[in-house]
Amino acid sequence: MATLMATLQYIISTVEFNHSGELLATGDKGGRVVIFQQEQENKIQSHSRGEYNVYSTFQSHEPEFDYLKSLEIEEKINKIRWLPQKNAAQFLLSTNDKTIKLWKISERDKRPEGYNLKEEDGRYRDPTTVTTLRVPVFRPMDLMVEASPRRIFANAHTYHINSISINSDYETYLSADDLRINLWHLEITDRSFNIVDIKPANMEELTEVITAAEFHPNSCNTFVYSSSKGTIRLCDMRASALCDRHSKLFEEPEDPSNRSFFSEIISSISDVKFSHSGRYMMTRDYLSVKIWDLNMENRPVETYQVHEYLRSKLCSLYENDCIFDKFECCWNGSDSVVMTGSYNNFFRMFDRNTKRDITLEASRENNKPRTVLKPRKVCASGKRKKDEISVDSLDFNKKILHTAWHPKENIIAVATTNNLYIFQDKVN
Amino acid sequence: MAGAAGPGTGPGAAGGDGDDSLYPIAVLIDELRNEDVQLRLNSIKKLSTIALALGVERTRTELLPFLTDTIYDEDEVLLALAEQLGNFTGLVGGPDFAHCLLPPLESLATVEETVVRDKAVESLRQISQEHTSVALEAHFVPLVKRLASGDWFTSRTSACGLFSVCYPRASNAVKAEIRQHFRSLCSDDTPMVRRAAASKLGEFAKVLELDSVKSEIVPLFTNLASDEQDSVRLLAVEACVSIAQLLSQEDLEALVMPILRQAAEDKSWRVRYMVADKFSELQKAVGPKITQNDLIPAFQNLLKDCEAEVRAAAAHKVKELCENLPIEGRETIIMNQILPYIKELVSDTNQHVKSALASVIMGLSTILGKENTIEHLLPLFLAQLKDECPEVRLNIISNLDCVNEVIGIRQLSQSLLPAIVELAEDAKWRVRLAIIEYMPLLAGQLGVEFFDEKLNSLCMAWLVDHVYAIREAATNNLMKLVQKFGTEWAQNTIVPKVLVMANDPNYLHRMTTLFCINALSEACGQEITTKQMLPIVLKMAGDQVANVRFNVAKSLQKIGPILDTDALQEEVKPVLQKLGQDEDMDVKYFAQEAMSVVAQRLRKLDLPVKDSDEPSAPGADKNHFLRPRGPGEDAGKVSRDRAARVASEAAVEAAQLGVGTQPRSGPAYQLCVNPRETLAHLEIVGLVHFSQSRD
């Protein structure tokens, strides 16, 4: 069953559920953040639990100009991360290339009424008629959702921020750019600590960059970062204040038979995500998804091919720059299924227990609300069966880079260029 | 009444029929919900005025319910509100009604902003004392329980700070409940709450019965100290200090020490850092015996920790640790168990560690006495004086007085001198500035001969430094040196050199002469000032640069009080009068200002200064170059508009404040550059005044 959500004016650049799954935030290229809320009233009728409605929209970042470097700073939202809920309000961090902001999203359903010197409509009263004092009284009003910026964490990154991740201690978070990782306290904006710096003294010796970084979900001292060389480093913040030396290095030896000009490019890791349990982590490179056991560094425990049929097309993908696309990946709530995107508005799911995989398509033409998605198949070569799509007819402009999975239920959010689709389990 | 601010005093209130006093209050109440944060804040700060006008009854039934719902406001408003409510008991009808203040503070205790929550908790603690025992159990304790079992962790963290104030006055049954609640918060799911509980553990332990401390607090402490979160474990170290004070030595050894030992060897450097940082407190809390058996070995490990942050924190504590050792046997312990580790730190790879050590190491000499200092510490001082990092050298030099008392500074002077000279010529002006600050101290300890021989030339060189801050500090330094060595020394060594600069081709150096005279005149006394300095100052009144001339006027104003009336009358006054006719308006301005000061001293004299022409107060700016200008003056093309704007702004402000609407001659400031002076002499602190008449 499928629900087409909304057509957004701009290209969606990130999608993220909050910790309860009740809210879903998207960020777009125009610097806006849109928050959707799961339908409340019909919660008893299970068929509509996948309904999400717009809850709040606000402009998180504006385009800026760095006068010292003569560079434009895009307003595009690179990442959104929700904070664990601390009171009735909700908080999230959003970041563009340079600046991280902490937003508070709160509800208000009362407003004060009653002035001494003027009427409610603003007309002034004759002061001589004021003979008694009136104290304003709060009265119920229509629900209003407000988003207000609470903190701005700026001026700490020379390069582009690619990741932010909140620590399980609830008071710190990290932000990673191409060469450095900084550690912040959520309440302190004028100071951050650099914990990783891979910038070589001479930039000509630069061989790799940081592509993603994430904190472990419950071990507050552990974080990982992935590199463009296909390695993942795990660091222990207990050992030292500076984590330039990793405590574990996850790397799979290269298969010599597959070696080509593109080997290094396609081995670059575009996303790394810990499982909810904290036992595993998943990495996405250009052609595959790998699951690593944190206790085994020399190879992944599982490898899933996302679109192996593209291996023969790498040359043209290099020419149209698609080979540099940064696909993200996500776990389902129980860590049993993983999901990631592909081209032609296809997205892939892999069941870790049954080893079954499925390709689905997010498109407006095929999907009316409440229809069941049909599995898709791409044929690599040779005879094309009925219902199969040939590799050559794939549309590489339609790519699904950002997906998110509800932390508790089987509800997923899939962002095509400027549409957000929300799918849920078929219910009878 | 304090509330009579804002438009309340405007003409609007004039027509009131006997209810004049209500109007300002009505404004304040309305502004509680004004769109402008500043006005809301202003109203909240005058909340007591509003409450007083409403009376206790209406405050309780109307104002407090309104405030309870006001938690959507800006943090600064909420912070002010939380603070106000702490002192509100009298305004709601005294202790019998103190519980009425709980609902607004309860909602403030759940907001996300830590400062607001902390302030709300502080006010709640204050109010708890005003509750009767009955009211405490009927109202306050239920509030604490509500917060402690709240859904959101903000409320649970706030609860942690309230247990210790209600526990002592509660009945036994309630006490058991309170302990139960505290226990559950110590094992809360969220680290935020566990941190709050850990940080209040010591405070809560102090109000508990000793039995409960042993049976309940110690297990909680043990759990928190082995929490999976580093940030919780490190707070347990702090709690350790308070708990240790409550227990006997045997209990301490059995219950607390295993945990402290574990913390000192924790896998996380942040926990070990905390142990190092709290070392003196821990040392005092556990007493000398345990210190010797346990803490000293732990300290040795911290001094050679693999993490530089930990070593630096430990190095900072070296002196305090040694001081707090029992006098008997202290020397042996230090010599055998501490000093070897300190020696290692002197050549540490990390400069923060070395500079932390340098800031305390000199203090050891008083503890160890002369012989040990010469034999063991002196080589370390000398090594640090040659350290590559300027901060290390500075830290040694800044603490020379400790060594001076014990062995005299002569022992060090041979190494000291190159170190000082090097710092004095450091490329970073902040380093130069730092060493200048220590010059008077050094001079006092090295004595006048050594100073004259080696350091005097440095002090004079700083006067012509190309950074203004250095020249300024150098001038102040001269004054302090004169205070130390006396006027005769000044007359022979300093004054001639300073006065020679009056003929320097660089006008900045000529001005330095004037600044030096300003600083030195008082310390040198009337005779030197009149005979040696005054002639030079008067001569400079003919300088071709306007900046020099108006500084002459300022100098004359400054040294005026030191001169005798004859000199004032016969020498200063004519020069000031001449400057008062100067073609440059700024020179005129300062000359007139100086004249009015001089005139006060020479009361007999009639001066051509009318009241209306008297310069406004902000004119006495010590840093020059910024000059106040009245809008009435011919202020030049560019600055005129600005002056007018500023003046009208001042008028608006004055009108808002309810004072007279007549625009006062508000100062407008002008920063310009004299194009005739060489640009090489320009720098940020020394912007040159633009002389309009030469344009």
pLDDT above 50 for A238: yes
- pLDDT by residue (tens digit) across B109-137? 999 999 999 999 999 999 999 999 899 99
Which residue out of B60, B188, B189, B231 would a mutagenesis test of the A interface target, given it has the greatest number of A Cβ atoms within 10 Å? B231
Alpha-carbon gap, residue B38 to B61, rounded angstroms: 26
Element containing residue B563 per DSSP (H, E): none
- pLDDT by residue (tens digit) across A205-223? 999 999 999 999 999 999 9
- Nearest Cα of chain A lies from the Cα of B455 at a distance, in angstroms, of 40
pLDDT above 90 for B628: no
Averaged pLDDT of chain A: 90
Put simply, the chain B residues between 220 and 259 with a CB less than 8 A from any chain A CB are: 228-231
Cβ atoms B565, B577 nearer than 8 A: no
Alpha-carbon gap, residue A311 to A313, rounded angstroms: 5
User: Nearest residue of A to residue B29 by CA position?
Assistant: A135
Residues on chain A touching B19 (C-beta within 8 angstroms): 128, 130-131
- pLDDT by residue (tens digit) across B498-518? 888 888 888 898 999 999 998
Put simply, the chain A residues between 239 and 258 with a CB less than 8 A from any chain B CB are: 239-241
pTM of the model: 0.79
- pLDDT by residue (tens digit) across B682-695? 333 333 333 333 33
Of A104, A218, A238, the CB nearest to B267: A238
Three-state SS for B335-375 is HHHHHHHHHHHHCCCCHHHHHHHHHHHCCHHHHHHHHHHHH
Cβ atoms A176, A163 nearer than 8 A: yes
Mean local confidence (pLDDT), B375-387? 88
pLDDT above 80 for B313: yes
Mean local confidence (pLDDT), B262-275? 95
Return the exposure string of A97-128: e unless at least 16 CB atoms fall within 10 Å of the residue's CB, then b: bbbbbbbbbbeeeeeeebbbbeeeeeeeeebe
Alpha-carbon gap, residue B379 to B374, rounded angstroms: 8
pLDDT at B632: 37
Q: Does B22 touch chain A (CB under 8 A)?
A: yes
Mean local confidence (pLDDT), A387-401? 90
β-pair type (A388-390, A377-379): parallel
In the structure, what pLDDT confidence band is assigned to residue A4 with cuts at 50, 70 and 90? Answer: very low
Return the exposure string of A369-400: e unless at least 16 CB atoms fall within 10 Å of the residue's CB, then b: eeeebeebebeeeeeeeeeebebeebeeebbb
Alpha-carbon gap, residue B379 to B396, rounded angstroms: 13
Cβ atoms B298, B317 nearer than 8 A: no
In the structure, what pLDDT confidence band is assigned to residue A49 with cuts at 50, 70 and 90? Answer: low
User: What amino acid is encoded at A289 in this protein?
Assistant: V
pLDDT at A174: 97
Q: How many CB atoms lie within 10 A of CB B687?
A: 18
Put simply, the chain A residues between 351 and 390 with a CB less than 8 A from any chain B CB are: none
Share of chain B above pLDDT 90, in %: 49
In the structure, what pLDDT confidence band is assigned to residue B608 with cuts at 50, 70 and 90? Answer: very low
Strand partners, A73: A64
- In the sheet with A180-185, reading across from the earlier edge strand, the strands are A163-166, A172-176, A180-185, A192-197
β-pair type (A232-236, A222-227): antiparallel
- pLDDT by residue (tens digit) across B172-188? 999 999 999 999 999 99
pLDDT above 90 for B659: no
In the structure, what pLDDT confidence band is assigned to residue B324 with cuts at 50, 70 and 90? Answer: very high
Q: How many CB atoms lie within 10 A of CB B333?
A: 17
Which residue out of A194, A221, A247 would a mutagenesis test of the B interface target, given it has the greatest number of B Cβ atoms within 10 Å? A221
Give how far Cα B110 sits from Cα of A141, B332, B501, B537, Å.
Answer: 23, 55, 66, 66
pLDDT at A239: 92
Among A26-40, A150-164, B81-95, B408-422, which is the least confidently predicted range? Answer: B408-422
Q: Where is pLDDT greater, at B229 or B70?
A: B229
Q: Where is pLDDT greater, at B193 or B452?
A: B193
Cβ atoms A91, A150 nearer than 8 A: yes
β-pair type (A52-59, A32-38): antiparallel
pLDDT at B498: 87
Mean local confidence (pLDDT), B481-499? 87
pLDDT at A195: 96
pLDDT at B19: 55
Mean local confidence (pLDDT), B355-374? 91
Q: Does A104 touch chain B (CB under 8 A)?
A: yes
Alpha-carbon gap, residue B78 to B87, rounded angstroms: 15
In the structure, what pLDDT confidence band is assigned to residue B542 with cuts at 50, 70 and 90? Answer: confident
- Nearest Cα of chain B lies from the Cα of A362 at a distance, in angstroms, of 38
Tokens of A187: 């309440």
Tokens of B15: 């027509």
DSSP B326: -
| Most confident listed range (A123-137, A171-185, A388-402) | A171-185
A382: left (phi over 0), alpha (psi -120 to 50) or beta: left
Share of chain A above pLDDT 90, in %: 73
Averaged pLDDT of chain B: 82
Alpha-carbon gap, residue B598 to B560, rounded angstroms: 6
- pLDDT by residue (tens digit) across A179-192? 999 999 999 999 99
pLDDT above 70 for B617: no
pLDDT above 50 for B657: no
DSSP A68: T
Cβ atoms B537, B556 nearer than 8 A: yes
Long-range CB pairs of B213-219 (<8 Å, 24+ gap) are B213/B243, B213/B246, B213/B247, B214/B247, B214/B251, B214/B255, B216/B179, B216/B183, B217/B243, B218/B243, B218/B255, B218/B256
> What is B219-267 written as a DSSP string?
HHHHHHHT-SSHHHHHHHHHHHHHHHHHS-HHHIIIIIHHHHHHHHT-S
Give how far Cα B285 sits from Cα of B241, B246, B271, B274, Å.
Answer: 6, 9, 18, 15
pLDDT at A47: 53
Cβ atoms B568, B560 nearer than 8 A: yes
- Coil, helix or strand for A313? helix
pLDDT above 70 for B556: yes
Mean local confidence (pLDDT), A335-344? 96
A118 vs B62: CB contact, 8 Å cut-off?
no
Alpha-carbon gap, residue B220 to B234, rounded angstroms: 14
Mean local confidence (pLDDT), A365-374? 73
Mean local confidence (pLDDT), B386-407? 84
**For residue A243, how far is the Cα from the chain centroid?**
25
- pLDDT by residue (tens digit) across B277-298? 999 999 999 999 999 999 999 9
Give how far Cα A374 sits from Cα of A346, A359, A362, A383, Å.
Answer: 11, 9, 10, 21
Alpha-carbon gap, residue B490 to B313, rounded angstroms: 44
DSSP A48: G
Cβ atoms B505, B542 nearer than 8 A: no
β-pair type (A163-166, A172-176): antiparallel
pLDDT above 80 for B14: no
Please tell me whether the interface predicted TM-score (ipTM) of this complex is above 0.85. yes
Cβ atoms B332, B291 nearer than 8 A: no
